[in-house]
Structure 1
Amino acid sequence: MRGHDRINACLPDELIVEILRRLGDKPSRDACSLVCKRWLALERPRRTTLRVGATGSPDVFINLLSRRFSNVRHVHIDERLSISLPVPLGRKRRSSHTTVSSLNLCGLEKNGSEDVGLETYSLSDGGLIAIGQGFPKLEKLSLIWCSNVSSAGLISLAQQCGFLKCLDLQGCYVGDQGLAAVGQSCKQLEDLNLRFCEGLTDIGLVELAIGCAKSLKSLGIAACAKITDVSLEAVGLHCKSLEMLSLDSEFMHNKGVLAVAQGCPSLRILKLQCINVTDEALQAVGSSCLSLELLALYSFQRFTDKGLHAIGIGCKKLKDLTLSDCYFLSDKGLEAIAAGCKELIHLEVNGCHNIGTLGLEFIGKSCPRLTELALLYCQRIGDNALLEIGRGCEFLQSLELVDCSNIGDEAICSIARGCRNLKKLHIRRCYEIGNKGIVAIGENCKSLTDLSLRFCDRVGDEALVAIGECSSLQYLNVSGCHQIGDAGIIAIARGCPQLTFLDVSVLQDIVLSHCRQITDVGISHLVRSCSLLESCHMVYCPGVTSSGVATVVSTCPNIKKLLVEKWKVSQRTTRRAGSIISYLCVDL
């Protein structure tokens, strides 16, 4: 009966809380919290995560949040982000969108006024103090590019948040005293990110390594000019439980990496971009880090196949290998990996110009569990490499090829025949790949969900007609494929009902007829990507309304002809583009 609250009169708090607990996604919880003030009060304590954009007056803002959400465990503050409100809070409504900081939200909510400045501020030490006082149960804190925080705020936070397990200080100019305080107070810290923390030196990191010796498992360092091998030696000496190290530094040498390799036997993930590290360091990793599962090497100019040979001999559990711009690696290095790392699942080779067909053949013959393969700017790798991958890697699900000029249709046909579980295929500027290879993919890989064929100018309608048989396709990018026309796009529209993204950027003419699955949403995505569209026939598409027609007219600056049913054209669209609109003879 209207006016009677039967739910709240019957349901106890415990049952409502249990209902809220069973709601899996945030939008559902948000919706339920709006039922009434009682449900809102019961839902708020269940919130454990807060994400905040650019902030100002953090004391006010954080205190407000801490009063409303008492059980927060994770706080993410990213100064690169701002908050956009479609309708600003306050007494008046404005027609345009306004970007405001978190401070503005607090001020507007408190004062009910729109006369608050829109300048974006940065989190200060006062904000860190407020976080420490307001969220004593905090376990994870991310401060991304919060350039105004310093050691003073970090010291206060560390003293208040003894349960902290994860700390991300990317781009924060904190000093050694703050980092040392974290080591002294946060004995459960497991994950520490110090990327672009230019104010730190060895002093702070050494103190943290000593303080968090038993707990630290993950450490990331990048562009910290004053952090040297001394810090890594301390990590290797004290942090025996370290599992992940990500290191990007021009100032690290073999000494630091050797210390970590020899002192951290549990190391599972190692990412290195250090131009002064040589084979000696990788040999130590191969002999000491027997649990290594992921190895990523970027821009190495001072190590050779000797390093990969040691990895292949010692790291039998390696599953993920990335080699980027490592100029002195050759097929022998990949042969060693193939021979020793039988559990390899992911392989990326990027710009390693001495690695050729033979190296990939070894992988195809010896790594049957491979599921992801990316070959970028590999001019020396030819068809025989993927022929062997097709024969030996039946579980392959993802293949990416960029600027591989010697790979053609025969290679793609082999992948299609041998890797029928393929779900993702990205090809860019591989000019020897044409219709034959893509047709084979369409005929054999029925689980394909993600296909990108950018600037493959030998691919045309025949290929897309075959791909149209892949009913699970969700993502398609064929920008730069000049031979694709109406027949190919129509086949995709008819055969791929789950398609959510389509990029045909260079397409000029399109015909959509009797496409019952296409709606205004799909039209919107289509025309946003087709900046060169000149002609569009869009008839007998019941899901397209006058809104979709208006979208085509307003989004395509080069449109010269639009054929559509007359009843779908509003008066406003007629006034705006009547000269280019042609009407279907029969009104539906």
Structure 2
Amino acid sequence: MKGHDCINPALPDELIMEIFRRLDSKASRDASSVVCRRWLRLERLSRDTIRIGASGSPDANIKLLAKQFVSVRNVYVDERISISIPVQLGKRRLVNRSKNICLKHQYRSGKGEYEDRELEPYCLSDVGLNAIAEGFINLEKLSLIWCSNVTNVGLMSIAEKCRSLKSLDLQGCYIGDLGLAAVGGCCKQLEDLNLRFCEGLTDSGVRDLAVACGNSLKSIGIAACARITDIGLEAVGSYCRYLEALSLDSEFIHNRGVLSVAKGCPSLKVLKLQCINVTDEALLAVGTFCSSLEMLALYSFQRFTDQSLCAIGKGCKKLKNLTLSDCYFLSDKGLEAIATGCSELAHLEVNGCHNIGTFGLESVGKSCMHLSELALLYCQRIGNYALSEVGKGCKYLQALHLVDCSNIGDDAICSIASGCRNLKRLHIRRCYEVGDKGIVAIGEKCKFLTDLSIRFCDRVGDKALIAVGQGCSLQHLNVSGCQLITDDGIIAMARGCPQLSFLDISVLQCIGDMALVELGESCPSLKDIVLSHCRQVTDAGLSHLVKKCTMLESCHIVYCPNITSAGVATVISSCASIKKVLVEKWKVSERTKRRAGAIISYLCVDL
């Protein structure tokens, strides 16, 4: 910009910072920050979010970040994520130059020999939490995922210095009641709280928090907390009158706790329950008192019946999202009550509810005109006629997921194609009655389809893909295990869908190099490809693909016998954006390991 700077003199700091905030990716912001020193300073000031992994020394990193990014309001620390050192292709790797490397030290064994032992990666501690508290005083959202080394002391420092905190995620943190009580005492604006897998908490801590933050708290999540019982939930029901979302996964919660929340929290909009000891009594109360309920998810319930769904259908007229998973005593009667009572239903998932059949889903098709997403998983009793009714009545359907529905075939898919012209996403897996006829109808009539997954549907062949390629603009395609598909189908798809970004053609025995050549020529936007178990693909086809698809980020090539170490090396050297290559370990040369060891993943077979 030297000598040609027309931007900096004309634009004030505030406007440039607003432009940085509107950039849609971290890479774009990073690129902007290296233009000049002013832009670097302003870009740092504009950042409001940082994410930190487990490798290296999080405590020290946080202190450095706090000095550079003073406007941060959201901090995410996830110790499940390991941050690796970026490897520059073609250059010798530097050893022990970064704090993020797991150093290896030699220790003398009892026999006088030396052994290499890898030091454990550092974890976030109370020192790091104190650095967050001191460095980000305007903190509004803090997420600590599986940070097992933090204690009440660190959480107290957060509570005392970050009084604007609105969201706190403590999943997997072994903190206790004192830390939670401190949060309640200091953070009067707290709205969202996640306590999943916080095994050190008891009813006392939940009660103290509920009493202190009852007027602000809107969302609570509790899972696998053995010492949080109905007593803690009763405190929530008594003090958190503005609670809008509750997620419970516990065998220690009974009707009493859920009843208290239902009666005491009239603003409840989201309720997710996986509590094996909750029965009809509690859900009857939800139907009676929670008229604002919009989302209900019930998992693994074996102690409630259609009576509960009838109460929900009668009392929760605003219900838009319903998930029923492994609820064995529900039948068509309960689903019919939901359909007729909750006409605003937009999302429905039925998973493994073996007593729900065709009639129940027919009722949804006839009554729920606003349905936009439908998922039927392991529903052996639902037949073609049910989806015919959905096709007739649900004109706004945009997503359909079918898994192991043995009685659903081409007639059902043709009905969906005829009636649901706005369909954007179709996922079908192991529905063996679905073949070319149904998918051809989708290709001819659903012009807005962008995501198609037909996995292990062995009656689908090239004819279906040719029709979809001619009629749709796909971005995601998964035809794994569809053995009738050959090069002809993939070539037609590549020519018809040049914006394809994800492709899974694994376990296709008839796919060869010609398909890869056409993909390279026609689909420059391809980012992810899965070729595993493609026995006809060779190094030559793979080389042509990766040299043309310069945006490729991930490539799975396990169990491809004609792809060798030379092919793997070609992928690494040709794709500047590559982030993950999944391959057998013996196909990776020592040179390739040195150049790109951080992005290579190996198939785990040594069990």
Q: Which amino acid aligns with 1:533?
A: R
Structure 2 residue 51 is matched with structure 1 residue 51: yes
Deviation at residue 422 of structure 1 after TM alignment:
0.7
1:210 and 1:102, CA in 2 relative to 1: closer, same or farther beyond 3 A? farther
Deviation at residue 481 of structure 1 after TM alignment:
0.7
**Aligned twin of 2:487:** 486
**Aligned twin of 1:77:** 77
Q: Distance in 1 between matches of 2:516 and 2:136?
A: 58
Q: Which amino acid aligns with 1:26?
A: K
Q: Which amino acid aligns with 2:291?
A: L
* Number of equivalenced pairs: 545
Q: Structure 1: where are the runs of 5+ without partners?
A: 106-116, 562-569, 571-575, 577-588
**Aligned twin of 2:600:** none
Structure 2 residue 89 is matched with structure 1 residue 95: no
Name which one, 1 or 2, has greater alpha-carbon Rg: 1
Q: Secondary structure at the match of 1:469?
A: helix
Decide which moves more: 29-38 or 280-289: 29-38
Q: Secondary structure at the match of 2:477?
A: strand
**Aligned twin of 1:160:** 161
Q: Which amino acid aligns with 2:492?
A: A
Deviation at residue 181 of structure 1 after TM alignment:
0.6
Q: Which amino acid aligns with 1:257?
A: V
Q: Distance in 1 between matches of 2:228 and 2:176?
A: 12
Which structure is richer in relative contact order (CA contacts within 8 A, separation 6 or more)?
A: 2
Deviation at residue 488 of structure 1 after TM alignment:
1.0
**Aligned twin of 1:534:** 536
1:11 and 1:296, CA in 2 relative to 1: closer, same or farther beyond 3 A? closer
Q: Which amino acid aligns with 1:558?
A: P
Q: Deviations over 1:374-413 (max 9, x none)?
A: 0000011111110111111111111011000011111111
- Given that residues 462 and 488 in structure 1 are in contact (C-alpha distance below 8 angstroms), is that contact kept between their aligned partners in structure 2? yes
Q: Distance in 2 between matches of 1:403 and 1:84?
A: 39
Structure 2 residue 218 is matched with structure 1 residue 205: no
Q: Secondary structure at the match of 1:505?
A: coil
Deviation at residue 520 of structure 1 after TM alignment:
8.5
Deviation at residue 491 of structure 1 after TM alignment:
1.1
Deviation at residue 542 of structure 1 after TM alignment:
9.4
Q: Distance in 1 between matches of 2:432 and 2:290?
A: 42
**Aligned twin of 1:565:** none
**Aligned twin of 1:406:** 407
Q: Distance in 2 between matches of 1:316 and 1:99?
A: 61
**Aligned twin of 1:373:** 374
Q: Residues 52-67 of structure 1 correspond to what in structure 2 (within 5 A)? A: 52-54=52-54, 57-67=57-67
Decide which moves more: 367-376 or 55-64: 55-64
- Given that residues 59 and 124 in structure 2 are in contact (C-alpha distance below 8 angstroms), is that contact kept between their aligned partners in structure 1? no
Q: Secondary structure at the match of 1:287?
A: helix
Question: TM-score, normalised to structure 2's length?
Answer: 0.83
**Aligned twin of 1:122:** 123
Deviation at residue 546 of structure 1 after TM alignment:
8.4
**Aligned twin of 1:183:** 184
Q: Residues 409-420 of structure 1 correspond to what in structure 2 (within 5 A)? A: 409-420=410-421
1:242 and 1:437, CA in 2 relative to 1: closer, same or farther beyond 3 A? same
Deviation at residue 518 of structure 1 after TM alignment:
2.8
Q: Deviations over 1:180-228 (max 9, x none)?
A: 1111011000000000000101010100000101000000000000000
**Aligned twin of 1:146:** 147
Deviation at residue 100 of structure 1 after TM alignment:
7.1
**Which 4+ runs in 1 deviate beyond 3 A?**
1-26, 55-59, 92-105, 512-517, 519-526, 535-539, 541-548, 551-557
Deviation at residue 118 of structure 1 after TM alignment:
6.4
Q: Secondary structure at the match of 1:83?
A: coil
1:519 and 1:82, CA in 2 relative to 1: closer, same or farther beyond 3 A? farther
**Aligned twin of 2:395:** 394
Q: Deviations over 1:485-529 (max 9, x none)?
A: 122111101111111111111223333499487368678854x42
Q: Distance in 1 between matches of 2:97 and 2:267?
A: 46
Q: Distance in 2 between matches of 1:506 and 1:268?
A: 44
Q: Distance in 1 between matches of 2:248 and 2:184?
A: 20
**Aligned twin of 1:500:** 501
Deviation at residue 462 of structure 1 after TM alignment:
1.1
Q: Distance in 2 between matches of 1:377 and 1:12?
A: 59
**Aligned twin of 1:558:** 561
Q: Distance in 2 between matches of 1:240 and 1:545?
A: 60
**Aligned twin of 2:112:** none
Q: Deviations over 1:57-80 (max 9, x none)?
A: 544322211111111100000001
1:359 and 1:554, CA in 2 relative to 1: closer, same or farther beyond 3 A? closer
Question: TM-score, normalised to structure 1's length?
Answer: 0.86
Q: Distance in 2 between matches of 1:13 and 1:104?
A: 40
- Given that residues 397 and 423 in structure 1 are in contact (C-alpha distance below 8 angstroms), is that contact kept between their aligned partners in structure 2? yes
Q: Deviations over 1:107-161 (max 9, x none)?
A: xxxxxxxxxx864111111111111111111000000000011111111110111
Deviation at residue 96 of structure 1 after TM alignment:
8.3
Q: Structure 2: where are the runs of 5+ without partners?
A: 104-117, 565-572, 574-586, 588-607
Q: Which amino acid aligns with 1:443?
A: E
Deviation at residue 532 of structure 1 after TM alignment:
2.4
Identical residues among aligned pairs (%): 65
Q: Distance in 1 between matches of 2:324 and 2:538?
A: 45
Deviation at residue 275 of structure 1 after TM alignment:
0.3
